[in-house]
């Protein structure tokens, strides 16, 4: 046999086993229970995190990651101060994601909230991606 014929036989075998799913149909015929469905994963924005312990009853306990800036402001009020800066993704050619800017908002006595600031054209973004519980305000 030539190498090309052997390669064709291997490729065909792999394709057939991939199409069959690799499961043995006899296991379901014997009455075994099907596997339980996995719990749906909670979806968090990419790069999001919570730093510190959020105390029950605090302003930050009323918000969650993924909320828009407008939702957060209507829920807990406007921040005492805020600032914005570019991320390194701003300079990646053909990057059109929503993380070219970051907005950090300071809430006195609570801490800081971080939002993605949108794409290079100013659209999209402004979703809460970080909560930093720091009553001293050192996070700002």
The structural domains of the chain, with segments of one domain joined by +, span: 49-133
The span from the CA of 74 to the CA of 29, in Å, is 56
100 contacts 126 by C-beta, under 8 angstroms: no
- Please give the pLDDT value at position 27: 43
pLDDT per position as a tens digit, 89-127: 888 998 888 888 899 999 999 999 999 988 877 778 889
Query: pLDDT digit string (tens) for 49-73?
Result: 899 999 999 999 999 999 999 999 9
What's the pLDDT at 15? 58
Query: What is the structure's pLDDT at 54?
Result: 92
Q: What is the model's pLDDT at position 65?
A: 94
**Do residues 74 and 95 lie in contact, with contact meaning Cβ atoms separated by under 8 Å?**
no
pTM to 2 decimal places:
0.63
pLDDT at 40 over 60: no
Q: What is the 3-state secondary structure (H, E, C) of the chain?
A: CCHHHHHHHHHHHHHHHHHCCCCCCHHHHCCCCCCCCCCCCCCCCCCCEEECCCCCCCHHHHCCCCCEHHHHHHHHCCCCEEEEEECHHHHCCCCCCCECEEEEEEECCCEEEEEECECCCCCCCCEEEEEEECCCCCCC
Q: Assign 17 a pLDDT band (cuts: 50, 70, 90).
A: low
Determine the Cα–Cα distance for residues 69 and 115; give it in Å rounded to an integer: 7
């Amino acid at each position: 046999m030539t190498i090309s014929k052997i390669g064709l036989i291997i490729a065909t075998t792999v394709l057939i086993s991939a199409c069959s799913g690799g499961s043995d149909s006899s296991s379901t015929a014997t009455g075994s229970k099907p596997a339980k469905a996995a719990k749906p994963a909670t979806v968090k924005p990419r790069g999001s995190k919570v730093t510190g312990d959020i105390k029950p009853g605090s302003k930050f306990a009323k918000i969650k990651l993924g909320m828009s800036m407008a939702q957060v402001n209507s829920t807990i009020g406007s921040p005492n101060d805020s600032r914005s800066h570019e991320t390194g993704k701003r300079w990646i050619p053909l990057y059109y994601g929503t993380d070219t800017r970051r907005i950090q908002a300071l809430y006195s006595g609570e801490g800081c909230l971080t939002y993605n600031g949108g794409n290079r054209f100013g659209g999209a973004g402004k979703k809460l991606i970080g909560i930093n519980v720091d009553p001293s305000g050192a996070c700002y």
